[in-house]
Amino acid sequence: MAAALRAPGVRFQWRIRAAAGGARGAAGRQGYDLLVIGGGSGGLACAKEAAQLGKKVAVVDYVEPSPRGTRWGLGGTCVNVGCIPKKLMHQAALLGGMIRDAPHYGWEVPPLVPHDWRKMAEAVQNHVKSLNWGHRVQLQDRKVKYFNIKASFVNEHMVCGVTKDGKETLLSAEHIVIATGGRPRYPTHIEGALEYGITSDDIFWLKESPGKTLVVGASYVALECAGFLTGLGLDATVMVRSIPLRGFDQQMSSLVTEYMASHGTRFLRGCTPSRVGRLPDGQLQVTWEDLASGKKDVGTFDTVLWAIGRVPETRSLHLENAGVNTHPNSQKILVDAGEATSVPHIYAIGDVAEGRPELTPPAVMAGKLLARRLCGQSSDLMDYDNVPTTVFTPLEYGCVGLSEEEAVARHGEEHVEVYHAYYKPLEFTVAERDASQCYIKMVCLREPPQLVLGLHFLGPNAGEVTQGFALGIKCGASYAQVMRTLGIHPTCAEEVAKLRITKRSGLDPTVTGC
Amino acid sequence: MSSPPGRRARLSSPGTGRSSSETREELRRRLLGLIEGNRVMIFSKSYCPHSTRVKELFSSLGVECHILELDQVDDGASVQEVLSEITNQRTVPNIFVNKVHMGGCEQTFQAHQSGVLEKLLQGDSAYDYDLIVIGGGSGGLACAQEAAVLGKKVMVLDFVLPSPQGTSWGLGGTCVNVGCIPKKLMHQAALLGQALIDSRKFGWEYNQQVKHNWETMTEAIQNHIGSLNWGYRLSLREKAVAYVNSYGEFVEHHKIKATNRKGQETCYTAAKFVIATGERPRYLGIQGDKEYCITSDDLFSLPYCPGKTLVVGASYVALECAGFLAGLGLDVTVMVRSILLRGFDQEMAEKVGSYMEQHGVKFLRKFVPVMIQQLEKGSPGKLRVVAESTEGPGAVEGVYNTVLLAIGRDSCTRKIGLEKIGVKINEKSGKIPVNDVEQTNVPYVYAIGDILEGKLELTPVAIQAGKLLARRLFGGRLEKCDYINVPTTVFTPLEYGCCGLSEEKAIEVHKKENLEVYHTLFWPLEWTVAGRDNNTCYAKIICNKFDNERVVGFHILGPNAGEVTQGFAAAMKCGLTKQLLDDTIGIHPTCGEVFTTLEITKASGLDITQKGC
């Protein structure tokens, strides 16, 4: 079966090489070794790596404006409307917390310090623009041709690109990588959702403060946005239909939301919106239903932010022209372990590929490894196991490996040992901060040497703490090995190396003293 | 020859083919059983003249011994190996008296002459306590509590001699009172000062210059420390450890004199002792130093802002103190005799120093103070400092409000009667040499923490050593404290975290041509919008090319270095290699992720500056 699929591909390769050589080259039609559709983290990494290895590479990238008209430059979601601006706004919110800590540490700060959204947004946007520029320069340095065009497949080796002004370009390539990512989903059956709502595509580019905000959804995007909005002093409400942070460890996610609730974020649980309308004064009136009681309720907000999920950017690609198959439900592109689609010389990486984590670093690594394989440099496949990540909610949540639920599902409760601790970061003491949700949990196999299956860390700098341990888990660390690691005193991370209490024991997991 | 006294024991070895670790573990248990179960246990060889002398000695004392002749059992060689693991002694005779490892023939005769042997023979019941720990710091408390948990009768003696400036404090030792805890909190105060500056760039608005109030900060920190002191007292009480706030001094074997604040003396005896007295800051020995200078013992509870400060020394204590004082807005000068952060990677040390210099700390290099003179009394007063160049003639002088000495620390081992019971110390350094099970030359006396010769002066190390020691002494466990690849972090304004070897040490151990160093500068995302220094934060790993590019040294200079380093230290315990770093997916956007994408080797000489993004 595989051989049958591959054979026509090989034949085709030869023909297109000839085209790339110019023999059949028509006007406005250019041949490349590799064409990457989508200039996000994964696509750019793949393109740059291939170019560095001597291939003739082109990247096409086009940002369809959001329904609210927001658009941005090269670099994809992470740089423009994801990781970068959200971590910077999260940092702005954390700084607000530090301003409140400062008087405890002797700084004579005025009691109420207001926040200027405009100033922050401008600074963040300027930084993002500098990154866009940086990506352009990097492509140029590596001789990667960049086209700001919207691409769709003509056939399995040819793509047609349309510029903003409607000019068409045909590009052909031996290998094509689809890395178009995803965009926020709008609800389809809620009146006023599209007209009045915004998404994470817009929030980071708002010139003015969003004011009182309703965030609909309980994905990490929803919680992160609601978290920093609250931290910046805005009135933020999260409307959750079912559970927060689906797919993450549920004990951890309930601690995440508990912390947020105790720091001013409102939660409307078990509710779903039914209508958004504009009031004469410009405010938005949202109607929602309590799913348990069926009762309707109404509230007014300045902004409604949809964060109910993301849809892959596959609709305008005309994948059917190339014969690339997608998942019937998710619409994501089906790929094999080598990132190849149903068409062997067409690949998909990043958020657009079915079953892949929607995270920047795996996309970058997958892109690089794919380029190396295409150039015959290596045969290494991307390993999608144990991908560490961090949710930048007000209290950060870092994790790697399995959630407790998943570990139990895979190995059975009697074979899983969970070590855990509630700890208090030293900096919280003088600042008189509440550390009720600072919690660490290490999920291990119960049989010696107690292989570590998952690590979950809730607390300040969770990303920094988690990174190194992710490596340990990659190395197949056992509980015993982690315990043999001496702590760095005084840090939060050292608490991981001091986990002694098992959940099974029922003992109090609160850390006391040194 | 008459046959030696005592019964002969034989260890038959079932199934000599089994050489697995399980068999070894079984053997280990049998040996420990023999040691635990016999008043005197001698591992001997029938033809060894030294063994014979020892047997005769016990015979003359009329003491019954249990003897295992290694040359007469099948697994004698294995027994000798396991014994050497347990005792760090390979030779016979190998003697235990009441579970205490005596050593060989010579040590046993010495112990006999000094009276130790007779004391040991009397057995544990003759003493007030199973264990007395001298020093209630991190290591001592950990050891005492663990021993108590294991059911032993334990006492802790702790007494803080006031500093020359009159500062003293409660239970918990250096870390809690005058070390890690207050310094990290003052470091945090300084970081918050930086955060206030950053916050304006992130849209937070306030106009007036923000001033810092030393008294508010110090009071808050001292309150926290007070609660920790109290917590330790409580925790000792819960575990039924006797705590005596008295100064301990050995008066004879197994006997210690405890003197309280009022001068009342009480004597206590114990079967075993652990010395965990730690260290105190060193003085210069020049005119005016003890009268007018302060040390880290005084700084954290100083009731007034120190003002313009001269920090003498370039240890991590010196640089951390100078760093946070400058961060709190004070005028700070560091006087350095030779190099920064001796023992640490010198490239990193210089980068730590240059960041401080760029952020307002002045450095006076190659000078040592020769005189301190008081110009004005006050809180703070005014001091005149005269310093001489270390490189020839030339002197400088300056006027400061405060002079903080941080030139090193001295072990508290010279005034605790160690000479009375013959515990050897290094006469020059005052440190106590111990074997790999933290035992001194006097078999029933152990030592842990900062006073150990050639070991690390770190809280977590002392805690680990103390716990494991208690478990070995009283819990039948064997695990020894592992002093290899201990991570640490220096909390200078730009934090420096490391684990494993410095580049210098790596070259010494592995030879330069066998190493590959990967490095890069990086710009934390949070610093971009804040407009802070690009190309300042730095990451470096040192790999052994001929061992699968195993990482032998890990170094990071950047925010939250401690939090970043911890996990990598765990990974190093699991045998971290460069390939594994490359295979690990980063967490975006963090500083830690920089280690998953290191590409440039130092040997290549390629540019590591980050241009834009």
The pLDDT tens digits for A84-132 are: 999 999 999 999 999 999 999 999 999 889 999 999 999 999 999 999 9
A449 and B575 in contact (C-beta within 8 Å)? no
- A513 contacts chain B (CB < 8 A): yes
Search chain A and give the residue with CA nearest B530: A123
**Among candidates B259, B257, B263, which has minimal Cα distance to B245?**
B259
Residue A496: its chain B contacts at CB < 8 A?
566-567, 570
ipTM of the complex: 0.91
pLDDT tens digit sequence for B50-65: 999 999 999 998 888 9
Q: Output the pLDDT for position A208.
A: 97
Active site amino acids of B? 588
Output the CA angle B552-B460-A506, nearest 5 degrees.
Answer: 115
pLDDT tens digit sequence for B216-225: 999 999 999 9
Q: How far apart are CA B304 and CA B377, in angstroms?
A: 13
pLDDT tens digit sequence for A335-355: 999 999 999 999 999 999 999
Eight-state DSSP code of residue A478: B
Q: Output the pLDDT for position B74.
A: 87
Flag whether pLDDT at B123 surpasses 80.
no
Q: How far apart are CA B446 and CA B453, in angstroms?
A: 13
Residue A139: its chain B contacts at CB < 8 A?
none
A contact residues 116-145, partner B, Cβ 8 Å cutoff? 116-121, 123-124, 127, 130-131, 133-135, 137
Residues 6+ apart with CB under 8 A from B268: B128, B129, B132, B155, B244, B255, B256, B258
pLDDT band at A17 (very low <50, low <70, confident <90, very high): very low
Residues 6+ apart with CB under 8 A from A43: A36, A37, A59, A61, A76, A177, A179, A180, A349, A350, A367
Flag whether pLDDT at B16 surpasses 70.
no
- For A157, A289, B469, the CA distances from A168, given in Å and listed in that order, are 16, 48, 77
B303 and B165 in contact (C-beta within 8 Å)? no
A20 and A174 in contact (C-beta within 8 Å)? yes
pLDDT band at B86 (very low <50, low <70, confident <90, very high): confident
**Contact check, Cβ <8 Å, A91/B526:** yes
For residues A435-447, give the mean pLDDT.
97
Question: What three-state secondary structure class fits A91?
Answer: helix
Residues 6+ apart with CB under 8 A from A4: none
- For A161, A210, A397, A406, the CA distances from A67, given in Å and listed in that order, are 22, 17, 31, 38
Lowest pLDDT segment from B8-22, B193-207, B263-277:
B8-22
B527 and B533 in contact (C-beta within 8 Å)? yes
Flag whether pLDDT at A25 surpasses 70.
no
Flag whether pLDDT at A14 surpasses 60.
no
Q: How far apart are CA B143 and CA B151, in angstroms?
A: 13
Torsion angles phi and psi, residue B352, rounded to 5: -60, -45
Q: Output the pLDDT for position A29.
A: 57
| Burial environment of residue A100 by CB neighbours within 10 A (0 to 12, 13 to 18, 19 or more) | middle
Pick among B237, B587, B600 to test the A interface (most A CBs inside 10 A) = B587
B274 and B423 in contact (C-beta within 8 Å)? no
**Contact check, Cβ <8 Å, B571/A87:** no
A203 and A120 in contact (C-beta within 8 Å)? no
Q: Output the pLDDT for position B100.
A: 83
pLDDT tens digit sequence for A448-489: 999 999 999 999 999 999 999 999 898 889 999 999 899 999
> Reduced to 3 DSSP states, what percent helix, strand and coil does chain B have, rounded to the nearest 5?
35, 25, 40
Q: Output the pLDDT for position B10.
A: 43
B424 and B275 in contact (C-beta within 8 Å)? no
- A103 contacts chain B (CB < 8 A): yes
A470 and A386 in contact (C-beta within 8 Å)? yes
The percent of residues above 90 in pLDDT, for chain B, comes to 81
pLDDT tens digit sequence for B518-575: 999 999 999 999 999 989 999 999 999 999 999 999 999 999 999 999 999 999 999 9
Q: How far apart are CA A160 and CA A149, in angstroms?
A: 9
For residues B3-26, give the mean pLDDT.
53
Q: Are strands B515-522 and B496-500 parallel, antiparallel or unpaired?
A: unpaired
Amino acid at A151: A
Residue A101: its chain B contacts at CB < 8 A?
192
Q: How far apart are CA B199 and CA A257, in angstroms?
A: 25
Flag whether pLDDT at A257 surpasses 80.
yes
Radius of gyration of chain B (CA): 28
Radius of gyration of chain A (CA): 25
Across the interface, of A101, A110, A360, the residue whose CB is closest to B588 is A360
- A242 contacts chain B (CB < 8 A): no
Give the 3-state DSSP-derived string for B366-384, with helices as H, strands as E and coil as C: CEEEEEEEEEECCCCCEEE
User: How many Cβ pairs closer than 8 A exist between chain A and B?
Assistant: 294
**Contact check, Cβ <8 Å, B584/A470:** yes
For residues A259-286, give the mean pLDDT.
97
Residues 6+ apart with CB under 8 A from A28: A168, A169, A170
A223 and A245 in contact (C-beta within 8 Å)? yes
**Contact check, Cβ <8 Å, A470/B208:** no
Q: Output the pLDDT for position B87.
A: 84
Residue B580: its chain A contacts at CB < 8 A?
471, 474-475
Q: How far apart are CA B110 and CA A348, in angstroms?
A: 78
**Contact check, Cβ <8 Å, A475/B571:** yes
Q: Output the pLDDT for position B99.
A: 82
Flag whether pLDDT at A514 surpasses 80.
no
Token output for B600: 């440039």
Q: How far apart are CA B594 and CA B561, in angstroms?
A: 12
Q: Output the pLDDT for position B489.
A: 97
For residues B183-194, give the mean pLDDT.
97
pLDDT band at B85 (very low <50, low <70, confident <90, very high): confident
Q: Output the pLDDT for position B27.
A: 87
Cite the DSSP H helix spans in B150-306: 173-178, 180-201, 214-238, 289-292, 296-299
**C-alpha torsion angle, residues B14, B15, B16, B18 (rounded to 10):** -120
**Among candidates A304, A309, A310, which has minimal Cα distance to A237?**
A304
Q: Output the pLDDT for position B3.
A: 43
Mean pLDDT of chain B: 92
Q: Output the pLDDT for position B611.
A: 59
**C-alpha torsion angle, residues A357, A358, A364, A369 (rounded to 10):** 30
Q: Output the pLDDT for position B22.
A: 66
Flag whether pLDDT at A21 surpasses 90.
no
Q: How far apart are CA A255 and CA A244, in angstroms?
A: 10
pLDDT band at B125 (very low <50, low <70, confident <90, very high): low
Torsion angles phi and psi, residue B219, rounded to 5: -65, -45
| Burial environment of residue A443 by CB neighbours within 10 A (0 to 12, 13 to 18, 19 or more) | buried
A362 and B596 in contact (C-beta within 8 Å)? no
Q: Which helix (H) or strand (E) holds A121?
A: helix A117-141
Cite the DSSP H helix spans in A180-219: 193-196, 200-203
pLDDT band at A246 (very low <50, low <70, confident <90, very high): very high
The percent of residues above 70 in pLDDT, for chain A, comes to 94
Q: How far apart are CA B560 and CA A427, in angstroms?
A: 12
Q: Output the pLDDT for position A13.
A: 42
Lowest pLDDT segment from B85-99, B423-437, B502-516:
B85-99
Q: Output the pLDDT for position B200.
A: 94
Lowest pLDDT segment from A12-26, B259-273, B495-509:
A12-26
Shortest alpha-carbon distance between residue B450 and chain A (Å): 15
Which position has the token pair 């770093």? B581
Eight-state DSSP code of residue B181: H
Flag whether pLDDT at B237 surpasses 80.
yes
pLDDT tens digit sequence for A402-416: 999 999 999 999 999
